[in-house]
Amino acid sequence: MNYQQTRLAVVGYGYWGAKHARVLSSVPGVDLVVVDTDPERREEARRGCPTADLTGDFVGVLDFVDGVVVATPPTTHGDIAHRVLRAGKPVLVEKPLATSTSAARSLVETAAEHGARLMAGHTFEYNAAVWKLRETINSGELGRILYIDTARLNLGIYQNDVDVIWDLAPHDLSIIAFLMGERPASVATWAHRSVGARHADVAYLRLQLERSLVPAFVHVSWLDPQKVRRVTVVGDRKMAVYNDLLDEDRIRIYDIGVDPNDPGEPVDTPAMPVTYRTGDIVSPHVVFREPLLVQDTHFVDCVRTGERPLTPGESGLDVVRVLSASDVARMCGREVPVGDEPGVVDGREVRLARTKLGGTPT
Ligand SMILES: NC(=O)c1ccc[n+]([C@@H]2O[C@H](COP(=O)([O-])OP(=O)(O)OC[C@H]3O[C@@H](n4cnc5c(N)ncnc54)[C@H](O)[C@@H]3O)[C@@H](O)[C@H]2O)c1
């Protein structure tokens, strides 16, 4: 199909916005305007993206663009995205969609009110390795899923406005929901602030999925000597590991497992409690395209056709609900349900003490 030129704005030309600008510049028929309030970042964009128009005035470009990608710090997402949606234009908002459940819900409602498309930047849902992992789970090859474990660690970029959970866990939460086709019903959280006065930099989340009751464990850290980007899915027949740091063999399926011995045996029997199975390790072929390019090309298609995004605002809201519940779980020191009222546990209000910049103290 032939389309007229599509004019898009990328708001925020920082670490990630520069990548959006790069991939969108490569999509045929897209004209780009880069918006950043920082003149130094605009200067950087002039060098990195020479064909794009540059401005610091976001509101001024709204009338002249067909859609907007928001890649500014998380606490600014809600305000910027609201303005775009109220202008009736489609918007792709980086993760996390917003920094509270009410702000995320309000974006979904505003999108519906103004008939504008709202898309969540859940990049891993556009990743061919994640698709292959889901296909493997759905085929039954792994058997019944016993648990999922994710690790996203390195010497990370400490953020000003959110902690490590709000920064990194959205990836794992969206991957888990995508793989299992269900949402977490509850979350328990342990988090620690090791460096600086502001935010937790190491955290563990334990989720329980709503239908299968499968537990999922999410470990995120900005303070780890080794870079790890790993999702492990353990089934009662086989196990699969997705290692995002590998160029090849990103997915490995291990034909190994453990079977319980006869549960009828007396507990004081000296026999081993389990029997081990070992077999081949297979790496399925995955045709890989840069996920951000796949995601942003899909956004361009949504802008041109008006189709509903594969990761609509509602999936961004789902992730924010879990993040908000995880804040409450941390404050309460116990598992809490994931719901619409993150500050209410057992009918009582739990006050989330927010710092000036929007994070929760540890
Ligand atoms: N999907 C992913 O894999 C991924 C990876 C990294 C970051 N992100 C997300 O991308 C977003 C940006 O992260 P980052 O690491 O690039 O941050 P960053 O701090 O490097 O960049 C943010 C940029 O936004 C600009 N900015 C701030 N407020 C603005 C405003 N009101 N109008 C215009 N420009 C404004 C800043 O000047 C800066 O250049 C965050 O939401 C982050 O979570 C996503």
Q: Whose CA is nearest to atom 3 of ligand 1?
A: 123
Residues 5-24 have pLDDT tens digits of 999 999 999 999 999 999 99
Q: Tell me what pLDDT residue 306 has.
A: 97
Mean pLDDT rounded to a whole number for the chain:
93
Residues 26-57 have pLDDT tens digits of 999 999 999 999 999 999 999 999 999 999 99
Q: Whose CA is nearest to atom 33 of ligand 1?
A: 36
Q: Whose CA is nearest to atom 43 of ligand 1?
A: 95
Ligand 1, closest atom to CA 162? 43
- Residue 219's identity, in one-letter code, is H
Phi-psi region for residue 87, left (φ > 0), alpha (ψ -120 to 50) or beta? alpha
Q: Is the pLDDT of residue 316 over 90?
A: yes
Q: Tell me what pLDDT residue 270 has.
A: 62
| DSSP bridge pairs for 204 | 190, 219
Highest-confidence segment of 2-11, 67-76, 264-273:
67-76
In short, whether 123's Cβ falls inside 6 Å of ligand 1 is yes
Give me ligand 1 centre to Cα 98, in Å: 13
What domains are defined for the chain? 6-124+291-312 (3.40.50.720), 128-282 (3.30.360.10)
In short, whether 71's Cβ falls inside 6 Å of ligand 1 is yes
Higher pLDDT, 252 or 1: 252
In short, whether 67's Cβ falls inside 6 Å of ligand 1 is no
Q: Is the pLDDT of residue 354 over 50?
A: no
In short, whether 235's Cβ falls inside 6 Å of ligand 1 is no
Q: Tell me what pLDDT residue 198 has.
A: 84
Would the CA dihedral through 87, 91, 97, 99 be positive or negative? negative
What is the rounded CA–CA span in Å between residue 313 and residue 346? Answer: 28
Q: Which of 16, 36, 107, 163 to mutate for ligand 1's pocket (most ligand atoms within 8 Å of CB)?
A: 16
Residues 125-161 have pLDDT tens digits of 999 999 999 999 999 999 999 999 999 999 999 999 9
Q: Is the pLDDT of residue 339 over 90?
A: no
Length of the chain: 362
Cβ–Cβ under 8 Å, residues 231 and 242:
yes
| Average pLDDT for 66-71 | 98
Residues ≥6 apart with Cβ < 8 Å to 38 = 56
